Copies of this chain bind each other. A is one copy, B any other.
Amino acid sequence: MAVRSANDIHELIERLLRQGDLRYTTGRRAIVDLLCRVGQPVSISDIESQLPSIPRSSAYRHLVDLQSVGAVRRVAANDDFARFELAEDLTEHHHHLLCTSCGDVIDVAPTPAFEKAVTTMIEQFAEREGFRPFSHSLDIVGHCRECG
């Protein structure tokens, strides 16, 4: 799903951090690396098991920092564990398949026809409700291939 190379992403995130007077340190880079590699939303326990050298408190702090500069986005999954992924500006707009059995989250890219329909509809809501939309996300709930 990566539209840019990992190198590009690192460079972009470094710039984003610098704009916020933050450094792109080893710990932050390790987390971004993981997010690039996995290519789908990652939970804190994923981070703990993949990057055991990073303490939980640091992982949370890094994620908050990365969010604050717009490099990372928090994803609300179906279980009650927060998950994190690279911001869409760095990858591409996509939606999520949520498995209610194993909790897994799978990224999927929408078709242009669908996104056009969404945009049209959102404009209607915005008009009617006086709502100013920033972004949208579609979650498809069901069972993944493994869970049948």
Contacts and interface: CB of A to CB of B under 8 A. Distances in A.
- Among A121, A133, A144, which residue has the most Cβ atoms of chain B within 10 A? A121
Interface in A67-85: 76-78, 80, 82
Interface residues of A, number: 42
A118 B114 contact: yes
B136 A141 contact: yes
Interface string A37-71: 00000000000000000000000000000000000
Nearest to A143: B132
12 contacts: A80-B82, A97-B129, A108-B125, A108-B128, A110-B121, A114-B120, A117-B117, A126-B142, A129-B144, A131-B140, A134-B142, A137-B141
